[in-house]
Amino acid sequence: MRYASLGSGSKGNATLVESEKSCVMIDCGFNHKQTLLRLERLGKGPEDITAICLTHEHGDHIAGVRLFSKRYGTPVYMTSGTANALEDVQTQVLIQAGDSLHFGELEIISVAVSHDAAEPCQYVIKEGSKRLGLLTDIGYACDAVLDAYQGCDALILEANYDDEQLENGYYPESVKARIAGERGHLSNEQSLALIKALEFENVHALSIAHVSEKNNHQETIKSLFRQHFGSQVEQMDFVCQQEGMIWRTLT
Ligand SMILES: [Zn+2]
Ligand SMILES: [Zn+2]
């Protein structure tokens, strides 16, 4: 399998996962024009997308999904909570957390997460014995999430904010509390703790995503993660808001 990102952050998210016969887009959080431009950048057209799997209804994950699915008839998989919050996606297919979806050789497993949306989930993607975990927009990882992501060979993991930068930033207190709360986002510290809990050691297959442009910096994340990965930290990927991430192969 290989995977790539159209971009990640509070202004839009979409991830591609591809095997020989199928290419699935997880979230469609850019407007239609940007989605097409960013797909093209990765050598893909809209007709190549087998299906879209949504994580939740926040704008940075669904901004382009209505028009995209309407224009190309792409099936859009989502939980019923997401569907109710979203409305008006004609090609929706309802799923439940824990479901396994099959697209060619890809198996995509939905995992319920704690986030301030109606019924949010994230996904673990399998091909043969290889597993990729996508995990952003989560306030904290409960035991069920740890179980679901244990043994992943690659991770696209949120490190949203630095505690100090969030605390000292200009966001209203209510927004700060939401971000840092149990239904918000993972801080850098929480993200590193999760990596340790998962015993994830493959720094080459670690992609850091959904990094706040206001309350975080790549260098802040690197200096914290250096405590765990040492100088190897330079090998980890950052999924940028603007550039996304080019294809990575998991074999
Ligand atoms: Zn988000
Ligand atoms: Zn969200």
The CA 20 to ligand 2 mean position distance, Å, reads 30
Encode pLDDT of 107-165 as tens digits.
Answer: 999 999 999 999 999 999 999 999 999 999 999 999 999 999 999 999 999 999 999 99
The verdict on pTM exceeding 0.85 is: yes
Task: Say if 205 falls within a structural domain.
Answer: yes
Task: Say if 89 falls within a structural domain.
Answer: yes
Nearest ligand by distance to the CA of 60:
1
Q: 13-40 burial, b for 16+ CB within 10 Å, e for fewer?
A: bbbbbbbeebbbbbbbbbebebbbebbe
The CA 224 to ligand 1 mean position distance, Å, reads 22
The CA 195 to ligand 1 mean position distance, Å, reads 20
Task: Say if 249 falls within a structural domain.
Answer: no
Residue 20 belongs to what domain range?
Answer: 2-239
Task: Say if 70 falls within a structural domain.
Answer: yes
Encode pLDDT of 165-213 as tens digits.
Answer: 999 999 999 999 999 999 999 999 999 999 999 999 999 999 999 999 9
Q: Rounded mean pLDDT of 28-48?
A: 98
Which residue, among 115, 204, 198, 184, has the nearest Cα to 149 in the 3D structure?
198
The CA 91 to ligand 2 mean position distance, Å, reads 22
Nearest ligand by distance to the CA of 120:
2
**Which CATH number covers residue 97?**
3.60.15.10
